[in-house]
Structure 1
């Protein structure tokens, strides 16, 4: 009986893995087909790297410890959406205070609010002397009020401190327009990978994989 149960579990996991890969491929190919890319070399490079990243993402989505529900058919996370974007306690001073109190590490997943939804990014450079850090996509974030006033702040996005509500909204693509719920956006393949690096028990430390 133990062997039969094990085989059944392996078969189920294999089916889920195949379905996740299929959904991810379909989505990524559609995005490439509609992308405004003039260079064939760029498209070729992306196509060559797709198998690795899609298989890695599918594997991690099946293995990661998360409070979210996995939608295998759509290769996405799901959870109940809040009525409003979860920005309570996310004033700039509070956000800066939270990050300044941490020993920041490379690879830490951080949430960034856009005008309609929250996205995931990760720290790739830390400048402790100047109280700032850089993320892969959104660049430098300054944690000092004086520096923030001196720098041009992009009004289209801002750093948030991670908590369960914020990270849930980011992972699931929950979206709000004019403070009203609307259809979710689909997180990018990169964001799905980052979602698997979230340590839900301790947002101060990334999961290493």
Structure 2
């Protein structure tokens, strides 16, 4: 019975999935075509894997439970943008204490502040002895440093405002709103594993 229900749900979502896939393909192919001096083997590998990741991302975006609105035409999440980057209360002491007092697990989605926007990354290694963690794309973060840090990239404590900004690509320049940054295919996949009721854990891929 479960398989039959799942089948009909997928059938009903076919137009939705098709539109998401089309938008993701268009965006990814444009990104690939703009890469300068890339090795042929690298480009071939990326293009070869594209159908799998596009279909997977589209399916998960259509299935996951998120408080954000799904823009089918652009294959993005949307929400009202705040006037400023939501980093108030994100001092090093608060952020590091949060990570030190939870049970860290590989795969947990975490927000990273860059110069103009916030991105999603995930933990891939935890060093309890040295009180630090490593993320897939942004490297190591030292949780033992309690003084105020202005370094970029900067690890943030997840909350609804921060995660919303990261998922939607909201951006700011000189404390003013600017054009959004389109999240990468990997970030969109990560956005589907966020547990919006408990940021201390990640939802496994369906």
Asked if TM exceeds 0.5, the reply is yes
Judged with a 3 Å threshold, the aligned counterparts in structure 2 of structure 1 residues 28 and 77 are, in CA distance, closer, same or farther, namely same
Shift in Å, 1:112? 0.3
Equivalent residue for 2:129? 129
* Alignment deviations for residues 104-160 of structure 1 (CA, whole Å, 9 cap, x no partner): 0110000000010000000000111110010000000010027x89xxx88331000
Runs of 4+ in 1 over 3 A off after TM superposition: 6-12
* Alignment deviations for residues 151-178 of structure 1 (CA, whole Å, 9 cap, x no partner): xx88331000000000000000000000
> Take 1:127 and 1:207, find their aligned partners in 2: how far apart are those partners?
23
> 1:145 is paired with a residue of what secondary structure?
coil
Alignment of 1:7-86 (within 5 A): 11-86=11-86
Shift in Å, 1:196? 0.4
Kept after mapping to 2: 8 A contact 1:19/1:72:
yes
* TM-score, scaled to structure 1: 0.91
Equivalent residue for 2:142? 142
* TM-score, scaled to structure 2: 0.92
Paired positions, count? 200
| Structure 1 gaps, min length 5 | 1-5
> Take 2:42 and 2:153, find their aligned partners in 1: how far apart are those partners?
28
Shift in Å, 1:9? 6.1
> Take 2:9 and 2:65, find their aligned partners in 1: how far apart are those partners?
18
CA-based RMSD of the aligned residues comes to 1.9
Judged with a 3 Å threshold, the aligned counterparts in structure 2 of structure 1 residues 58 and 7 are, in CA distance, closer, same or farther, namely closer
Shift in Å, 1:87? 0.8
Equivalent residue for 1:176? 172
Judged with a 3 Å threshold, the aligned counterparts in structure 2 of structure 1 residues 10 and 194 are, in CA distance, closer, same or farther, namely closer
Shift in Å, 1:80? 0.2
Kept after mapping to 2: 8 A contact 1:199/1:206:
yes
> Take 2:144 and 2:193, find their aligned partners in 1: how far apart are those partners?
27
